[in-house]
Amino acid sequence: MAKDKAKIVVKDLNLWYGDKHALHNLNIEIQKNKITALIGPSGCGKSTFLRCLNRMNDLISSVRVEGEVVIDGKNIYDKDVDEVSVRKRIGMVFQQPNPFPKSIYENVAYAPLKHGSVKKGSDCDDLVEQSLKSAGIWNEVKDILKEPGTGLSGGQQQRLCIARTIAVKPDVILMDEPTSALDPISTEKIEALMLELKKDYTIVIVTHNMQQAARIADMTAFFHLGDLIEYDETEKIFINPTHKKTEDYITGRFG
Partner 1 sequence: MSKIKKNKKNVFYDPSLKRRHFKSKLFKYFTLSSLIVSLAFLAIFFIDMVVKGSSAVQQTYVQVEVSYNEQSAENYRDAVDKKYLELLSRAVLREIPMQIKKNPSLLGTTKVAWMLADDQVDMYMKEYYYKISNKDLATLTELIENGRVEKKFNTIFFTHGDSKTPEYSGILSAMIGTILTLAVAMFVAFPIGVATAVYLEEFSEQNAWSEFLEVNINNLAAIPSILFGLLGLAIFINLFGFPRSSALVGGLTLALMTLPIIVVSSRAALRSVPATIRQAGYGLGLTKVQVVKDHVLPLAFPGIMTGSIIGLAHAMGETAPLIIVGMIAFIPDSPTSVMEAATVMPAQIFTWAGMPERAYIERTAAGILVLLTVLISLNAMAVYLRKKFEVKW
Partner 2 sequence: MATFESKHRYAHLQEDVIKYLLILAATISILTTFGILFSIVFEAIEFFQLRSFVYFFTGTEWTPGVENSKFGALPIFAGTFMITAIAMAVALPIGLGSAIYMSEYASKNQRTILKPLLEILAGIPTVVYGFFAAITVAPFIVKISAAVGLEASFNSALASGVVMGIMIIPYISSLSDDVITAVPDSLRKGSLALGMTKSETIRDIVIPSALPGIISATLLGISKALGETMIVVMAAGLRPNLSWNLLEDMTTVTVRIVDALTGDQAFNSPATLSAFALGLALFFVTLVLNVVSVRMIKKFKEKYKMSSL
- Smallest separation, CB 116 to partner 1 (Å): 6
Asked if 184 is part of the footprint of partner 2 (rule: CB under 8 A), the reply reads no
Query: Which one of partner 1, partner 2, none interacts with residue 80, CB within 5 to 8 A by kind?
Result: partner 1
Asked if 85 is part of the footprint of partner 2 (rule: CB under 8 A), the reply reads yes
Check: CB of residue 33 under 8 Å from CB of residue 199. yes
Neighbours of 255 (CB within 10 A): 15
- Which residues sit opposite 21 in a β-bridge? 16
From 33, 41, 70, 100, residue interacting with partner 2 (rule: CB under 8 A)? 100
DSSP tally for the chain: helices H, then strands E: 10, 10
Query: Which one of partner 2, partner 1, none interacts with residue 111, CB within 5 to 8 A by kind?
Result: partner 2
Asked if 110 is part of the footprint of partner 2 (rule: CB under 8 A), the reply reads yes
Check: CB of residue 176 under 8 Å from CB of residue 111. no
Residue 131: exposure state from Cβ atoms within 10 A (0-12, 13-18, ≥19): buried
Asked if 169 is part of the footprint of partner 2 (rule: CB under 8 A), the reply reads no
Q: Which is nearer to partner 2, 11 or 89 (CB)?
A: 89
Side chain identity at residue 193, one-letter code: L
Which residues contact partner 2 (rule: CB under 8 A)? Answer: 54, 56, 59, 61, 84-89, 91-92, 94, 96, 98-102, 110-111, 114-115, 161, 164-165, 168
